[in-house]
C-alpha cells in the first residue's frame, strides 16, 4: 500500500522518456509531477530522474536545471528516495566514456563503459532477465516476473560491488539495479517493462 502522502517529482530536464515515466506512475498514484520547480522539489517525497540518449548530453542538461543545487540537497542531505532510470542511472557515476570523457554526478562511485558484447549487436534492445545479487525492498513480490526491457550500449560499473542489487547478461554481466542508501538506479526501462516494472516502481515508492 502506497501512502497517500507520497509525492513523486519526475525531474524535468528535457529527457525524451519523461512522459512515459509520468504515465506509468500516474496509472497507480495520483500525486505525480514533472517539474524542476523549487516548491515541487521541496514537497516531493520521492525523486525520479529518467533518461535516454548519450551520457554527456544528459549531464549537460542536468547541470543546467535551475534548481540543481536544491535537487542535490534533497538527495544527498535530506536523503529523499531517488531513482535514476537508464541514462538517469548512468549519470550517478563519477564519469562516463560515451564518445568522450565526461564527469558524472558522483553520487554512486563508478564509471560508465561500453558493453563488451562480441558477436552481439548494439544497442542491447529487448527483454532480459535479472540475476539477483542481494535482497532488496526494490524487488519485493516481483517473484518470477524478472524480465525487464533494455535499450542501451553502455553500462554502469560501480566501484563497490555491494552497490549492485541485480545484474543482467548481454555478452557480459553488467549492473541492472544499483542502490547506495537512498539512491537507486536501474539500467532497464521500468516504464516499458509491464507488470514487473510497475511492481518495482511501487516498491520504490515504499522505500
157 catalytically annotated? no
Q: Tell me which of 29, 46, 86, 184 is the catalytic residue.
A: 86
How far is 102 from 100, CA to CA, in rounded Å?
A: 6
Which residues are CB-neighbours of 183 under 8 A, at least 6 positions away? Answer: 75, 82, 84, 92, 107, 108
Q: Which residues of 72-98 are buried (b: 16+ CB within 10 A; e: fewer)?
A: eebbeeeebbbbbbbbbbbbbbbbbeb
CB atoms within 10 A of CB 131: 12
152 catalytically annotated? no
Q: Tell me which of 29, 124, 184, 191 is the catalytic residue.
A: 191
CB 56 within 8 A of CB 98: yes
How do 124-129 and 95-96 pair as beta strands?
A: unpaired
Give, as one character, the DSSP assignment of residue 139: G
173 catalytically annotated? no
CB 88 within 8 A of CB 65: no
Catalytic residues: 86, 189, 191
Amino acid at each position: 500500500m502506497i501512502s497517500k502522502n507520497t509525492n513523486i517529482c519526475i525531474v524535468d530536464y528535457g529527457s525524451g522518456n519523461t512522459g512515459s515515466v509520468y504515465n506509468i506512475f500516474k496509472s497507480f498514484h495520483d500525486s505525480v509531477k514533472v517539474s524542476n520547480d523549487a516548491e515541487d522539489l521541496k514537497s516531493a517525497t520521492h525523486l525520479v530522474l529518467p533518461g535516454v540518449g548519450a551520457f554527456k548530453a544528459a549531464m549537460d542538461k542536468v547541470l543546467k536545471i535551475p534548481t540543481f543545487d536544491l535537487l542535490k540537497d534533497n538527495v544527498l542531505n535530506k536523503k529523499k528516495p531517488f531513482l535514476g532510470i537508464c541514462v538517469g542511472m548512468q549519470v550517478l557515476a563519477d564519469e562516463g566514456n560515451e564518445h568522450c570523457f565526461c564527469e558524472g554526478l558522483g553520487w554512486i562511485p563508478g564509471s560508465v563503459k561500453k558493453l563488451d558484447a562480441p558477436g552481439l549487436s548494439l544497442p542491447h534492445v529487448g527483454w532480459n532477465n535479472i540475476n539477483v545479487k542481494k535482497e532488496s525492498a526494490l524487488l519485493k513480490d516481483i517473484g518470477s516476473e524478472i524480465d525487464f526491457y533494455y535499450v542501451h550500449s553502455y553500462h554502469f560499473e560501480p566501484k563497490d560491488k555491494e552497490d549492485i542489487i541485480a545484474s543482467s547478461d548481454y555478452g557480459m554481466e553488467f549492473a541492472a539495479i544499483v542502490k547506495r542508501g537512498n539512491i537507486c538506479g536501474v539500467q532497464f526501462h521500468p516504464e516499458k517493462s509491464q507488470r514487473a516494472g510497475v511492481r518495482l516502481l511501487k516498491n520504490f515508492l515504499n522505500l
